[in-house]
A = this chain, B = another copy of it.
Amino acid sequence: MAIDHANQEAAARILEGQPILTDVAPAADVIPGMERTLILHAGPPITWERMSGPLRGAVIGGLLYEGLARDEREAAQRAASGTVRFAPCHEHATVGPMAGITTASMPVYVVENRRFGNRAYSTLNEGYGKVLRYGAYSSDVLDRLRWINDVLGPAVGEALRLLGGIDMKSLIAQQLTMGDEGHNRNKAGSALMARMLAPALAETGLDRPNLGRVLRYFAETDLAVLNPVMAACKAILDPAHGIAGSTLVTAMARNGTDFGIRVSGLGNRWFVAPAEIPVGLFFPGFSQEDANPDIGDSTITETAGIGAFAMAAAPAIVQFVGGTPQMALEATQEMYEITVAENPAWGIPVLGFRGTPTGIDIRKVVKTGITPRVNTGIAHKQAGLGQVGAGLVRPPMACFEAALEAAAEALAS
């Protein structure tokens, strides 16, 4: 049948992707349509009025960082005034973790899908503590962003050019044999990336103290590889979008208020519903009551078949998100029920190297009643307070039901 055929084509494109991390460049130079007064954010479209605390905080931080406002109050006024524009990262070939704020002068990773010629982008991971992606915008947060802009980004870009790029498909394959699922747990991938970059970084023009600082950033940042992994997943999925009749999901993303999905055969529409609040383990002093609704583009990992879909590869993650190793196994097994393919390049050792479940079919989701699983960080619901925990969440079924209805209408017309 035509839908199955379209889905096979979409799945084949996902499996054929060849994402190479090639460079770091200023967002304005590489992201299509990027301009100084455009603020990209995670998830589906949203107005300032409807934004949650952490997304508002990150918008304020982005405006301060770009010099578009002098202080918090002016930034909030400007954000409400309509003199800056908001758009989803996803609509500009970009993905951002948590708030996902990406502005014109920020350096971004460049991932090229060598099979299809498209590119995708993601900011550099800020590390831990008070960070923009959780809505913090104090002066130390902005200082770190400036160091990323002035030192880290250019150095990593030069190192990547010296290396001729990093094959992200291979790197993710290695992660899955090393206890990472590529979303919440990226320790092995980050360590592999660190040791690959290190000799090339020593060959760049970086002075010795900054070389030490850049190497220390990679030594201390277990999430360093998350952003390039996300961009790789985005680069893999974009060619699968726009196939007439296909009911495969090509994006799942949350802005802290709404969860939205896009479907290959349904154009650029977002199918949205209120985001759920993740359930998980909380840092000392915080509890479930502090949790913001689900936020971030990092669900691009699950959309590409890793993250919670590859949880069987990462049994140690339960120390971080809750649950038992057996549940990690079951999470992956369940996801085979709503997907149409398995990725032979990404084998899960404990399942006898069975490929990760790939290509979410909205028909299977609605028919089985099984929504995709998502591993996630949990943001405090107030701007600027940062991460309070990590856990598990699912998208609302309403997104998939609305998309299936639209697919039925498209078929009928």
Cβ-closest 10 pairs across A and B: A177-B316, A315-B349, A191-B191, A194-B195, A199-B216, A199-B215, A202-B212, A316-B349, A198-B215, A178-B179
Residues of B within 8 A of A216 (CB): 199
Partner of A188, one of B179, B194, B215, B325: B179
Contacts of A211 in B (CB 8 A): 202
Are B188 and A212 closer than 8 Å at their CB atoms?
no
Knowing that A195-B219, A325-B352 are A-B contacts, what are 10 other residue pairs whose CB atoms are under 8 Å apart, sorted by A's residue number? A178-B178, A178-B179, A178-B180, A179-B349, A195-B215, A198-B218, A202-B208, A325-B349, A325-B353, A350-B350
Mask, A334-375, CB within 8 Å of B = 1, is 000000000000000111110000000000000000000000
Interface residue tally for chain A (C-beta within 8 Å)? 38
CB distance from A208 to the nearest CB of B (A): 6
Cβ of A201: which chain B residues have Cβ within 8 Å of it?
215
For the complex, is A77 an interface residue (Cβ under 8 Å from B)? no
A residues with a Cβ closer than 8 A to B are 174, 177-180, 187-188, 190-192, 194-196, 198-199, 201-203, 208, 211-213, 215-216, 218-219, 315-316, 318-319, 324-326, 349-353
7 contacts between A and B (CB under 8 A): A178-B188, A194-B195, A195-B198, A198-B215, A199-B215, A315-B350, A325-B350
**Interchain CA distance A192-B193 in the complex, whole Å:** 11
Shortest CB distance A375–B (Å): 15
Chain B min CB distance to A92 (Å): 32
Q: Which residue of B lies closest to A192 (CB)?
A: B191
**B215 contacts A202, CB within 8 Å?**
yes
The residues of B that contact A199 with a CB separation of less than 8 Å are 212-213, 215-216, 219
A211-B201 Cα distance, complex, nearest whole Å: 10
Q: Which residues of B contact A188 (CB under 8 A)?
A: 178-179, 188, 191
The residue in chain B whose Cβ has the minimal distance to the Cβ of A198 is B215
With a CB–CB cut-off of 8 A, which chain B residues contact A208? 202
